[in-house]
Structure 1
Amino acid sequence: MFAPSQLDVRRFFCATYRKLRDKLPLIPMEAIAAEWIDQHPEYHAELADEAAALAAVYSVEEGRTNPFLHLSMHLTISEQQSIDQPHGVRQAIELLAAKRNSLHEAHHVAMDCLGEMIWASQRSGLPPDGHLYLDCVSKKATR
């Protein structure tokens, strides 16, 4: 299993943005990331300065969104959809996208569910509960 460090993730997104900006070829994972980067122009300045990105601290108190966490969640949800894991998540996100008339907005709703699942896992010390996550996304898709 690939477990990149925080710095690895930041380097990946900065390098992907640089390749996107310079119109260089992208490997498949970069191509997916580039789609999400393109939809978040508010992050471009941070992605353009790798040194600053590697040093940046994103605290809740500052109220700054961590662009690397946000983009990583988009990648995670894209991967979940592509392999339908947990089983049923593809359909739930497609329903949510149809309801919201936007895959991007559907991802943002799913991110809330994903964040809740991760928080519950960290708090309880138990593994992440894919059923809890899927139930959350499904409920939001059918409301």
Structure 2
Amino acid sequence: MVTSPSSCADGRRRIVVVEDDNANRLFFADYLTFSGFRVLALPHGLDLDQQLKEFQPDLLLLDLGLPEIDGYTLLKQVRSSDLWQQLPVVIVSGYAFAEDQRRALALGAQKYLVKPVHLHQLIQAIQAILPPPGAE
């Protein structure tokens, strides 16, 4: 179950970022934090289910090209989980082919952004999915 923002102690939306590239992970985490979100940034998705349970995010920002377990597999796992099947997922990937986009969207991602991502584009995608706290 996804925690509503009103139940978060500080009222900020929570986003989990799964990105293996250190620079991108820090960049996304810093910018999203600056933009008012609480962020948990992970370099891989090996223990994603446990991390989601502990952090209770409102949205998952997911790279596809990850070590050890790829983003497609993680997306399938999220969508097959009773707890997380409704969790909004935004893909941010270097995979620019239309087939990659179709596959991720067919697996349940709400939005697909191709790297390099402009920051305003990232925030617009998130805001289109998550209304501001208190607007529900």
Q: RCO greater where, 1 or 2, for CA within 8 Å and sep 6 or more?
A: 2
Please report the TM-score for the alignment, with normalisation by the length of structure 2: 0.25
Give 1 or 2 for the bigger CA radius of gyration: 1
Which structure: greater helix fraction? 1
